[in-house]
Structure 1
Amino acid sequence: MTPRRRRMTLVALIVLGVGAATAFALTAFQDNLLYFYSPSDVSAGKAPADRVFRVGGMVPEGSFTREPGSLEAHFVLTDYAHNVKVSYTGVLPDLFREGQGVIARGRMGADGVFVAEEVLAKHDENYMPPEVADSLKKQHQKPPADGPLPTT
């Protein structure tokens, strides 16, 4: 094999290796993306049925239920236009309560209830997750600074 042919083979193998590594990285990146959807998007069927995503909104007063002695909680997330029922089994964050913004990560169940794997609550009384605030702005609703929220 001549030196020129050997160099061309080496360059071709390097290009092929870089291309394969890029393809693997992009595939892994796509699999790890976690999209955010509002309750209106979920109600419209825009959320994926076969993968994990995030849904966020406000927890209306009176929507939270939990059986005594159980870790299974049920609540509603709303963007004041549509509601999504959420089921979560586990310990909720200390700051979780009705009338607050929440983001849940999980997937849609066969019965149309969002089954959350993780629930994130805001960290102080003035904070609202940016995705939830943007979602509420899209619905032309202004989130209240303090006080109880209207229920739907």
Structure 2
Amino acid sequence: MKAKHQRLTLALIAVVALVGAGMLAAWALRSQASFFYLPAEYAAKPPEEGRAVRLGGMVEKGSIKTAADGVTISFVIHDDKARVPVTYRGILPDLFVEGSGAVAEGRRAADGQFVADNILAKHDENYVPREMKGMTNEEARKMIEGAS
């Protein structure tokens, strides 16, 4: 076999190996991907039971209820078109309040309820840490410089 044909054969084998490795990696990670749903999308076409997804929207006012055990919380995430009940067992982030944005990471249960494993609270662009609330920009700058 000529040297030119050997190089061509090696290049072809390398390309096939790379494509095969990419396909194998994609197949292995397909069940690990976490898809994002809005409440309307979740209600219209819910994911299959047990699939890891993220559900994002606003926490409905008056919907946060704490169970008797003190760590199980149920609430409703909604948008303009749909409401999705969510159950979470754990400690909520400080920024998680009614009327604010939240992302729940979890799975759909057999009864259609969303069971969250993790809650991410979203804040608006005007967020200020509790310690810096009421400070002027100059005072905040001095506090930050003093901490460094």
TM > 0.5 between the two? yes
Q: Which runs of 5+ in 1 are unaligned?
A: 128-152
* Equivalent AA in structure 1 for residue 67 of structure 2: E
Quote the offset at 1:2 in angstroms: 5.2
1:19-64 deviation per Cα after TM superposition (whole angstroms, max 9, x unaligned): 2123234435644443221111111124343421111111122111
**Would you say 1:104 and 2:83 are equivalent positions?**
no
Instruction: Report if the CA contact (8 A) 2:62-2:98 is conserved.
Output: yes
Q: Which runs of 5+ in 2 are unaligned?
A: 128-148
1:64 and 1:15, CA in 2 relative to 1: closer, same or farther beyond 3 A?
same
1:103-128 deviation per Cα after TM superposition (whole angstroms, max 9, x unaligned): 1111110011001111111235747x
Instruction: Report if the CA contact (8 A) 1:38-1:55 is conserved.
Output: yes
Count of aligned residue pairs for this structure pair:
127
In our comparison, the structure showing a higher alpha carbon Rg is 2
1:88 maps to 88
2:75 maps to 75
Distance 1:126 1:35 in 2: 28
1:63 maps to 63
1:80-124 deviation per Cα after TM superposition (whole angstroms, max 9, x unaligned): 321100011111101111111111111110011001111111235
Distance 1:80 1:61 in 2: 14
* Equivalent AA in structure 2 for residue 27 of structure 1: W
1:18 maps to 18
SS of 2:57 mapped into structure 1: strand
1:102 and 1:46, CA in 2 relative to 1: closer, same or farther beyond 3 A?
same
1:115 and 1:4, CA in 2 relative to 1: closer, same or farther beyond 3 A?
same
Larger RCO of the pair (alpha carbons < 8 Å, separation 6+): 1
1:137 maps to none
Distance 1:3 1:126 in 2: 66
1:131 maps to none
Deviating more after overlay: 11-20 vs 94-103: 11-20
1:113 maps to 113
1:20 and 1:125, CA in 2 relative to 1: closer, same or farther beyond 3 A?
closer
